[in-house]
Chain A
Amino acid sequence: MKELQELAEQLINGYSDHVARLTQELLDKGATPQTILNEGLVAGMTVVGERMRSGEMYLPEVLQSASAMHASLKILKPHLVRDGVESRGKILMGTVKGDMHDIGKNLVGIMLEGAGYEIVDLGLNVQAQKFVEAIQTHKPAILGLSAMLTTTMLHMKTTIDAITQAGVRANVKILVGGAPVSQKFADEVGADAYARDAVKAVDKVKELLAA
């Protein structure tokens, strides 16, 4: 469908107004919300991810595309809920205690949302206990932990230990990331996976959910 392709292209270009208008037009013409989501938004964000991976797009452009995606989702969400369309999985995420940086986490959230996952974002400077409670409340398939500083990354272990002690570790797969984090560190703190960037995070989430 030509309009869906145009929707994806406008999303890649980051034109929020156009994306919102096209979303409404597609709904008015009878396109299903799921089709618009998958063939417009997810398709567009997949290209955004590929271009980010290849260095054709950088964070400012990706944020523009994300803004366009959110403009469309604002219109689509009531329709998706009404039709009972389920997401590909629920992801809980947050920046660990003592860390006020969230660009990396937000970017991961954008790419995951663009890939069709539901995001529950606890924000930044999140205490271990709050992660535990959110796992119990939201029952996510995956928990994403972010840290930007060498000093705060150590709270990833504290958080995972608290989740284990609360008896909910088996309920959730844990993905870690952030500038100082590595696969070695992820192994040491008992995470299930490590992603070095937002595009890789989407791949890792797919792998974890398929396992």
Chain B
Amino acid sequence: MNNRLNDAMDCRASDRVPFVPAIYEHKAWFVHSTPSIVCRDVKLFTEALLAEYESIHPDALTVGIDVYNVEAEAVGCQVRYYGEGETSVPAIEPDTVLYHGDDDMGSLRMPDPSKDGRMPVNVEVATNIVQALGKEIPVRGAVSGPFSMAASLVGPENFLMLTITKPALVHEVMKFCAEVIQQYATAFVRIGCGIVIFDSQSSPALISPDMYRDFVLKPTQELIRSLQMLGVKNVPLIVGGNTTDILEPYLETGGNNILCDYPADAGEFLLRCSAARRAFRRNIDSSDFITTTPEKLGARTRECLDEGKGYPGFILGTAVAPFGTPLEHLLAIKTAVEEYSGKSSA
């Protein structure tokens, strides 16, 4: 079993820094298909994950393509899927949001992870991957964080406005979303899969640190605690953007393997995460992954690795790899990670 990621999350030294690239819509590229097709097809989705593993040998795999749509779709929102050859990422149709801020939330129903939307597709894919690779590397199911799911359900702008006009209602919606996510995550845990929570709508790019404390912290803490009670020792919590200003409450969520995205202050993360004995993932900017060169990516990787040098809780990742990222570019990052510590991996 490749335990690099688990060792890092326990802040325990291993042979090298774990490498966990963010491959979501790009998974479809490995099977010469599109995100809209692969995310609805168990066979192709499974093959894509297996191909990702065979091609890159990352230190963990994540089951998820359009990770922010799944829970809201299962509750009843519609997702726009693109036609043949269109590589765009599926997204919630803005006109199909389910909840408009009325005081009555009765129209929202709890989905069944075994039946509703694509939850069963993702859980089945996770089952396949756990069976195929679960003894080799950590496999994690991707779930939304409560704030991001609520933003999908209500519409991001409406939801942000409600934080001011109807804060009590926001708390209610958050509670509902946390419950949906908890049910969905439980379905992953039951088949032996780990969990990653994605909650980038709660980034300081959108809400203030005070709002994070008011609205996000408690339901996220409760969600993570409930997953820990199910036996998931470490629950990664991914919030993109510059999260330096929410680092304290971010750590208070109980999430481990928190994200230090490329605009965030790696020095500050190193200081506070090492004090809290918590792992963090430093992301390489992926905006030029298609157009850059392997040499430039190698140099950038070494710079990132320098930022966490000597800290056993340091994980190297990437921002979301765009669909069509050349394989040699991702491998250049992986090679740089291996060479940095003088350790290669199969």
Give chain A's interface residues, CB within 8 Å of chain B.
14, 55, 58-61, 63-64, 67, 97-103, 106, 124-125, 149-154, 179-182, 184-185, 188
Contacts and interface: CB of A to CB of B under 8 A. Distances in A.
B168 interface: no
Contacts of A106: 157
Contacts of B157: 63, 103, 106
Interface residues of B, number: 41
B243 to A, nearest CB: 13
A150 B91 contact: no
Contact of B160 (A59, A149, A153): A59
Interface in B87-144: 87-89, 91-94
Contact of A59 (B88, B206, B240, B323): B206
Given A100-B94, A179-B241, A151 B89 contact: yes
Contacts of A154: 290, 322
A150 B163 contact: no
B160 A180 contact: no
Given A59-B205, A179-B240, 14 more contacts: A14-B164, A58-B206, A59-B206, A60-B163, A63-B157, A63-B161, A103-B157, A103-B160, A106-B157, A150-B321, A153-B287, A179-B205, A180-B319, A188-B291
A151 B88 contact: yes
A103 B88 contact: no
Q: DSSP class of B's interface residues: helix, strand, loop or mixed?
A: loop
Contacts of A152: 88-89
Contact of B92 (A99, A100, A180, A185): A100
B82 interface: yes
B169 interface: no
A151 B164 contact: no
B248 interface: no
B249 interface: no
A14 B160 CA distance: 13
Contacts of B45: none
Interface string B245-263: 1000000000000000000
